Structure 1
Amino acid sequence: MALIHYVECNTTHASNFVVDVPAGAHWLLVITKTPALFWVHGGLKQYPAHSVVLYQPQQKVYYQACTGQFINDWIRFESSEPYITESPLPLGIPFALSDPDYCQKLLELLASEHHMGGDCKASSIDLLLRALFNKLWESYFQDNITPQYYKLLKLRTSIQTNPGEYWTVARMAGVLEISSGYLQNIYKKTFGLSCMEDVINSRIRMAKEYLIHSTESIADIAARCGYPNVEHFCRQFKQVTGYTPRNYQRQAKAGASPP
């Protein structure tokens, strides 16, 4: 289990903000939203926004603003759990965070549990911290996290959260302010499939859910999933799953396990 001493999210500091704790204290996790200077290997080094740094107890902590303002999330805590104490994450050395929005949500939930709490407060905090450290572990071992990657990730999250929207390559490229050809190239290189394949997969995944668990008509489900033309929906659904929507629905409700 873990004991949280303090946690703050999306905190804005002035341009002269400095944290200087030569002897350290408890475990400290800092996630930046703006560039910042960190004391690393005996000197100050600038790191970009969306950097994360973990300090162990009694380790020197020094970081400061280096732009007009400094914005960060941070949590100071105690824990003897091996997923923290034996973590392969570097100590006192910032690295790029692969999914800042996801981690911020986890920290917001940790803050809520810490400040409000309930009967399951301790176990909830432990589970949230485990999820957060899993994401940090993934980030540390992920290469080529660039500012462009964060934009692509936001786009992909929008696609998978709202697959029924009117998604086209041109529209997606416009969101990122790049050409359609460049978007298709970097999207597939980053995620291993094209942006439209991602749209189609997300729509079919959503359609499966409604086919099995709702009473809506095939036409209504098609429209909900971004297909104004029900014939096009049925054709694409069969291309992806091998079943027509109606047959998929029958198989699932009969207790079979279609893909």
Structure 2
Amino acid sequence: MTNIFYVEYDAAHASNFVFDIPEGHNCWLLVVTHTPALFWVNGELKEYPAYNGVLYHPHQKIYYRACAEQYKNDWIRFESNESYVMETSLPFGVPFSLNDPEYCHKIFQLLVSEHSFQKDYKESSIDCLLRTLFNKLLESYFQEVITPQYYNLLTLRTAIYSNPSQDWAVPRMADSIRISPGYLQSIYKKTFGVSCMDDVITSRIRQAKEYLLHGSLSIAEVSLRCGYNNVEHFCRQFKQITGFTPRKFHKQMEWASVERAAKT
């Protein structure tokens, strides 16, 4: 069972903000920072950069404060007897870097929405969201050291998959995060295990498959909408990745759909 006492996102405070609870809360507190902040850790005050998570167990000393013109965070105060909370491997009272802060932020937004209009039947939704958030935090905690460029790379990758048809040439991508093309290609592959141009191709073919599955566009129209000015080049890359030409892929999916309908 999980019960949220209060949850908030984008909570903004002035430069003199201090949160000091010597005996801690009688429940759990999870904080996700959007700006740098000072935290009391192992008997001393330490500065941590933006995009950190920190979990406090019940009755644990809590002390953190702003260290810039503004302090902003998401936070949730809750009680739970669920094993993913009670037996978590996350550290207590020690901030750790998040590998996808925007994802965590969106979960907080959903938690606020669910909690604001909470009904009995919404308890399972809230527990599911909190469980997902804890999974994401664990993923961050056990990830290798996050480089200073990681968040810029993550933003770039999200933009690529959101708008695959754009002109994602390496110089343009590098310029968008203010690094050299050579450095971009090096750290992108090291970070995501795939080159930036291979990621562009993957995002375009994924979009093309959606058009072929659920639309009535011609192959040439699909090609253009997915960022290809040359249909032959599109067909060649599509077959290289999927094993089918676009036309054959479309027919295969149609046949599979007909067969599934016949079985129902």
Query: Aligned residue for 1:91?
Result: 92
Partner of 1:43: 44
Partner of 2:261: none
Distance across 1 between alignment mates of 2:111 and 2:147: 27
Report the Cα offset of residue 119 of structure 1.
5.5
In structure 1, C-alpha distance between the alignment counterparts of 2:181 and 2:41, rounded to whole Å: 40
* Residue matched to 1:204: 205
1:39-188 matched pairs, under 5 angstroms: 39-118=40-119, 120-188=121-189
TM-score (norm 2): 0.94
Partner Cα distance (1:143, 1:228) in 2 = 39
Residue 27 of structure 1 aligns with which residue? 28
CA displacement at 1:146 relative to structure 2: 2.5
Q: Distance in 2 between matches of 1:196 and 1:219?
A: 22
Provide the rounded CA distance (Å) in 2 between the counterparts of 1:34 and 1:212. Answer: 43
Gaps of 5+ in 1: none
* CA distance in 1 between partners of 2:179 and 2:239 (Å): 33
* Displacement after TM superposition at 1:241 (Å): 1.7
Letter in 1 for 2:60: Q
| Alpha-carbon offset, residue 153 of structure 1 | 0.5
Structure 1 residue 64: Cα displacement? 0.6
- Deviations along 1:109-136, one digit per CA (max 9) or x if unpaired, are 0001111234632111011101100100
- State the Cα RMSD in Å: 1.2
Aligned residues: 256
Give distance in 1, aligned partners of 2:119 and 2:174: 45
Deviation at 1:185, TM superposition (A): 0.5
Structure 1 residue matching 2:102: 3-state secondary structure: helix
Question: Following the alignment from structure 1 to structure 2, what is the Cα–Cα distance between the partners of residues 122 and 147?
Answer: 38
User: Which residue of the partner structure matches residue 192 of structure 2?
Assistant: 191
In the alignment, which residue of structure 2 is the partner of 1:213? 214
CA distance in 2, matches of 1:92, 1:144: 19
Structure 1 counterpart SS, 2:149: helix
The 1:151–1:42 alpha-carbon spacing in structure 2 relative to 1, beyond 3 Å, is same
Gaps of 5+ in 2: 258-264
**1:79-116 deviation per Cα after TM superposition (whole angstroms, max 9, x unaligned):** 11000110100011111111000000000000011112
- Please say if 1:13 is aligned against 2:13: yes
CA–CA separation in structure 2 for the residues paired with 1:173 and 1:255: 42
Give the CA deviation at 1:147. Answer: 2.5
